[in-house]
Amino acid sequence: MKLTSMTAMCLLASTATLTQAAPVWQDFSITGLYGENYEATPDSKQSTATFEYAAKLKYGDFFAFADRTNSDGQSDTYFEVSPRLSLSAISGQKLEFGPIKDVLIATTWEGGKNMNNYLYGVGVDLAIPYFQYAQLNLYRAANDIQADDYQLTFTYGVPFKLAAEEFLVDGFIDWSTAEKDQVAHSSELNWTTQWKWNVGPHIAPNTRLYLGAEYSVWHNKYGIPGVNENNVSALVKYHF
């Protein structure tokens, strides 16, 4: 294992350990997706079941998800585990300035078939009008099957209402650098947004059942030059 991979794995494990405590809040959800314009998959049609867990903890936050995909009868699993450690919480000092609400140590473990990537860096929580949350993380990625690179990730959520109906627009933007090593890869950009309507209140109070669509724009998917995805997937999501 490369030294950078070992360092990143140790940092991720340390961050995960320090953030573990009784959650301030937590959320678990299951999402079903179906689209017909995927790239770099066995078939352009693909269905996905996504299991997500998010929690706010005393010393940071924690997010993890697993995708179980099926395309042309072939199934695969991909997951990410992302603990972040709040420097405000561990120092006892408010690290706030301008739109920045907090500064964090950010880590992520990406895992899938024959690959494990370890990302480590710094993150900030941002206060942006109308946004429920906004996070910006800058990582150094210790990659298994391609050259190490840098990644910038922005995640966001914007709730709004039309009459009495509840809507949520949330998603992420991933941008990574191009690198050359034994395996070269191009710079890639993945902007994925979910547009969702909460039909749950029409079923029972406090129920969160979303219907909507996911729109994904992916330039140089997986770092493959010229592989560009522009896909809309039907979406159903339930929060427990």
Band (pLDDT 50/70/90 cuts) for residue 10 is low
14 pLDDT higher than 60: no
pLDDT in tens, 54-69: 999 999 999 999 999 9
Band (pLDDT 50/70/90 cuts) for residue 154 is very high
Band (pLDDT 50/70/90 cuts) for residue 146 is confident
Here the contacts of 17-23 (C-beta below 8 Å, separation 24 or greater) are: 18/59, 18/60, 18/85, 18/90, 19/57, 19/59, 19/60, 19/61, 19/62, 19/83, 19/84, 19/85, 20/57, 20/62, 21/57, 21/58, 21/59, 22/57, 22/58, 23/55, 23/56, 23/57, 23/62
Residue 109's pLDDT is 97
pLDDT in tens, 86-134: 999 999 999 999 999 999 999 999 999 888 999 999 999 999 999 999 9
19 pLDDT higher than 70: no
* Segment holding 136, helix H or strand E: strand 133-142
Residue 211's pLDDT is 98
- Which of 74-83, 120-129, 141-150 is least confident? 141-150
Average pLDDT score over the chain: 92
Taking residues 178-199, report their average pLDDT.
89
- Rounded CA-CA distance 55/57 in Å is 6
Band (pLDDT 50/70/90 cuts) for residue 145 is confident
Band (pLDDT 50/70/90 cuts) for residue 5 is low
SS3 sequence of 84-120: EEEHHHHHCCCCCECCEEEEEEEEEEEEECCEEEEEE
Q: Under 8 Å CB-to-CB from 59, ≥6 apart: which residues?
A: 18, 19, 21, 85, 86, 89, 90
Cα torsion at 131, 50, 111, 87 (round to 10°)? 30
Report which residue type is found at 105. Answer: I
Taking residues 196-218, report their average pLDDT.
96
Taking residues 198-226, report their average pLDDT.
95
Taking residues 61-83, report their average pLDDT.
96
